[in-house]
Structure 1
């Protein structure tokens, strides 16, 4: 049986409300998953954020996307998408091109090197990582979790 957060973080007093524990449990779970994902990507020289950008640009196809569009599609928000894209360009994972009519508009596209690294990093272990964690939950529970998390994200 899974431990409650109170036990896991060795909290001496119970939470005042179940909703307090639920919120902290979401934060803790996200942190644990991100850390484990970063460990899986580390051998490839990638972070989860960079991996996410590569997936987004692969999905965009040859048209690419501007930084604002990439930022809107990111799983985890980053404060400076431009700097992230600059780093990824210096790694030759993406290419950037200025619009001829509007110099402020820059389109990012996945390079061949970026596409290959994305394919290489998406190992069977990486794929199994997420699936294994969800395998103990029923389809109904997964649906309920997705619905609950959507409500939490949409609440102002």
Structure 2
């Protein structure tokens, strides 16, 4: 049996959520604590992205394409590099193309291959977002020391590795 979160006094998260009963397990509390933290941290980022007509997924695609430069990438490769899983990458790319942020180019060597590249409009949007996002992230993390951030990062990597399906490990 796993450890329970029910010691004597309500936990910080239990109080925040106004949860009357303790969590079933400590692992459940940790999971919900990460979820709650992510939700709070993403608010400022989502507001900023929304001001520029982007969602976090659309922003992620544009960042991936910016990182790969001129040759662009096939949609499947973009999907593989997304921070969050995106089952319908084609529809996401369609919306970005409609907004003039990406362009599809069919390969002259292999007409079946379509590469996605970002447009100058996308580059301008990303340039406007770079500094404000950097500031948001610095403000969000400023309560933790560099050592604590490194420890948190290592723990998250370890947790993700231990929960990666075997099909993803081969990618």
TM norm. shorter chain > 0.5: yes
Map of 1:21 onto structure 2 = 29
Aligned ranges 1:54-73 → 2 under 5 Å: 54-73=62-81
| 2:6 aligned residue | none
The answer as to whether partners of 2:41 and 2:140 remain within 8 angstroms in 1 is no
Match of 2:118 among 105, 110, 131: 110
Shift of residue 100, structure 1, vs aligned partner = 2.8
Counterpart of 2:138 (choices 122, 131, 134) is: 131
Which residue of structure 1 lines up, in the alignment, with residue 19 of structure 2? 11
Aligned to 2:147: 140
Distance 1:89 1:114 in 2: 10
Number of equivalences? 153
Q: Pick from 114, 129, 133 the counterpart of residue 121 of structure 1.
A: 129
Matching residue of 1:154: 161
Equivalent residues of 1:34, 1:48 under 8 A apart: no
Per the alignment, residue 5 of structure 2 pairs with none
Q: TM-score, normalised by structure 2?
A: 0.82
Aligned to 2:169: none
CA root-mean-square deviation: 1.6
Q: Partner of 2:115: helix, strand, or coil? A: strand
Gaps of 5+ in 1: none
Q: Cα distance, 1:103 vs. partner?
A: 3.2
Q: Look up the SS of the partner of 1:50 in the other structure.
A: helix
Deviations, residues 119-144 of structure 1 (Å, cap 9, x unaligned): 123343x2211111111111221111
TM superposition shift of 1:17: 2.6
